[in-house]
Amino acid sequence: MLLGGLWHGASWNFIIWGGIHGVALAVNRYFGQLDSNIYMVAIFKNKLIAWALTMVVVFVAWVFFRAVDFNTAMLMFRSIFQYSPGWLETKLSPSFFELLLFYVLLQYLVHTTTVGFENYIKRPFTLSLIVASLVLYSLVYYVDGNDFIYFHF
C-alpha cells in the first residue's frame, strides 16, 4: 500500500495514507485468521464495530490524503479534536436544548409505555404530526438567526 500512496503523489502524506491502509489491511487479515471464540476477536468481528473502526481508519487516512503537507494534516487533526461550539453557540438558545430534551423524553415514553400516549392517541400518524409540529415550532421560535438581507432596505 505504500506503493499505492506513492502512485497518488510523491509526498509524505500519500506515503502515510498508503501506510495507514496497509496496516489496516494487515490487521484485518490477522483478525480474520484468528478463532472467533477469543473475546477480543469476537468484538472485532462484530459487523457494526468492524464498520465503525473501518470508517475511523478511512477518515483519518483521508486527512493525510487531502492535506497539502504533514504540518497541515496535524493542524487539521488539532482542529478536529479541539472543542469549538461553532454555529451551535451563535444560533441555538438554551431553551432550544430544553425543548429538544423534552422531545427525546416524549419519544422515549411513547416507545416504552403501553398505557400512556398509545391509549391517548390511537394513530401513530397523529403522534408523528404533533411531534413534527412541536419540532418545527421550536426551530422557528427558538433558533436565533440573522434577518433576511432585504429587510434592511
* DSSP secondary structure, 21-79, as one string: HHHHHHHHHHHHHS-TTSHHHHHHHSHHHHHHHHHHHHHHHHHHHHSSSHHHHHHHHHH
- Domain hosting 9: range is 2-81
Q: Where in the sequence numbering do the catalytic residues fall?
A: 8
Q: Is the pTM of this model over 0.85?
A: no
SS3 93: coil
Instruction: Cell numbers for 82, please give them.
Output: 479541539
> Could you give the CA distance from residue 98 to residue 28 in angstroms, rounded to a whole number?
43
Single-letter code of the amino acid located at 148: F
In a domain, 152, yes or no: no
Tell me, yes or no, whether 45 and 16 share the same domain. yes
- Is 139 contained in some domain? yes
Are residues 58 and 113 both part of a single domain?
A: no
Q: How many domains does the chain have?
A: 2
Q: Please indicate, yes or no, whether residues 17 and 65 belong to a single structural domain of this protein.
A: yes
Nearest to 92 by CA among 147, 149, 139, 146: 139
CA distance 139 to 132: 11
- Give the separation between CA 12 and CA 46, rounded to whole angstroms: 33
Same domain, 20 and 70: yes
Average pLDDT, the chain: 75
Model pLDDT, residue 147: 58
Span 121-133, pLDDT tens digits: 566 676 677 778 8
The three cell numbers of residue 61 are: 487516512
Residue 153 binned pLDDT confidence (cut-offs 50, 70, 90): very low
57 and 24 Cβ atoms separated by less than 8 Å: yes
* Same domain flag for 6 and 77: yes
Cell 484485518, located at residue: 28
Upper half-sphere CA count for residue 39 (Cβ side, 13 Å):
0
pLDDT in tens, 51-108: 888 899 999 999 998 888 899 999 988 888 887 666 555 566 667 777 778 877 777 7
